[in-house]
Amino acid sequence: MDWGQILNNTASFVLSPETIGFMLAAIGLSIHFGYAGLLNFGMAGFMAIGAYSYAISILSFGLPWYVAMMVSIAGAVVFAILLGIPTLRLRGDYLAIVTIAAAEIVRLLFQSQIFDEWTNSADGLGGYHAGFRAANPLPSGSYGIGPWTYTETGWWVRIFGLLLVVVAVLVTWMLMRSPWGRVLKGIREDEDAVRSLGKNVFLYKMQALIIGGVFGALGGVVIALPAAVIPQYYLPSLTFFVWTALLLGGAATIFGPVLGAALYWALMAFLAGVLPQMAAAGWLPLTPTNAGNLRFIVVGVALMLLVAFRPQGILGKKKEMTFVK
């Protein structure tokens, strides 16, 4: 067992662009579920729209990278409105089913050959990085210490992503301490009571869906910044992974989604390293490849135990979860 390599990879993943993208998506999901009580299982759709809008804006229309990010935000707003108008009056399970279907429709549209000219169908998109990398203020070279040593491009992606996380945390913190946030929490607890006070519950839910969706789209952009946009990445399982990160940290908390995403990817990276080596050493009756896939089962079981015994997550408070029946 090469524990040095395993721990190195685990520590490195804590600061990966994918982890940072998950932090943003989990913050968005926290607004949807933790504060508004919306069972959104279509976060993968928002992330796909963010990533594709960014890449298409640059590759097909030649827009600067920062304008492309604005297009991603606009795409998330439009998708939230289209998704919310027919679904936000649904409750619980029905809303969850519809949002799963909506995210799958988005992915299949990007994957289909109908829009091949812009999306490149199943092959996805790449080669849109030049503008973002040209804006890098860091000098060339490798920096850092131990597992956190990256090139100037690697650091630029991480620093930019973390800045977005800080902005998302501050926005969420301010919103949830405002009268708007208190109304949203009231809707989460008992929307009929809030409606009886003359509040437009549908409008508040729509606003929460839009804000959380924008954070999800930005998460998709951060994940796409260093690599490519591939439609197979945005499967329904992606949404469940973001849910796992959210529930691990705490659904109705400010820092819970950030902590949950970091712990989730650290656990996944640790299991991806240790399980194949255990199989290779003969400690598991599996091939190293199958042992690597075993991590999804381990994480799934951990999520079940978490929901059963600590539904509020690591940083959450049980009284904030009274809306979970």
CA 257 to chain centre: 9
| Digit-coded pLDDT (tens) for 127-172 | 999 999 999 999 999 988 888 999 999 999 999 999 999 999 999 9
Statement: residue 191 has pLDDT above 90 = no
Confidence of residue 110 (pLDDT cuts 50, 70, 90): very high
**pTM surpassing 0.85?**
yes
* Longest CA–CA separation in the chain, Å: 66
Geometric angle at alpha carbon 268, from 20 and 238, rounded to 5°: 60
Residue type, 142: S
Percent of the chain residues past pLDDT 90, beyond the cut: 66
Q: Which of 49, 84, 4 is nearest to 216 (CA)?
A: 49
| Digit-coded pLDDT (tens) for 9-55 | 889 889 999 999 999 999 999 999 999 999 999 999 999 999 999 99
User: Where do the H-state alpha helices sit in 225-311?
Assistant: 236-249, 256-280, 288-309
Distance, CA of 13 to CA of 222 (rounded, Å): 15
| Digit-coded pLDDT (tens) for 265-317 | 999 999 888 888 888 888 878 787 787 778 888 888 888 888 888 888 888 87
**CATH number for domain 3-139+146-320, candidates 3.30.450, 2.60.120, 1.10.3470, 3.40.50:** 1.10.3470
pLDDT of residue 325: 56
Domain boundaries, the chain: 3-139+146-320
pLDDT of residue 324: 60
Distance, CA of 177 to CA of 170 (rounded, Å): 11
Residue type, 86: P
pLDDT of residue 323: 59
In our burial notation (b when 16+ CB lie closer than 10 A, e otherwise), range 97-129 reads ebbbebbbebbeebbeeeeeebbbeeebbeebb
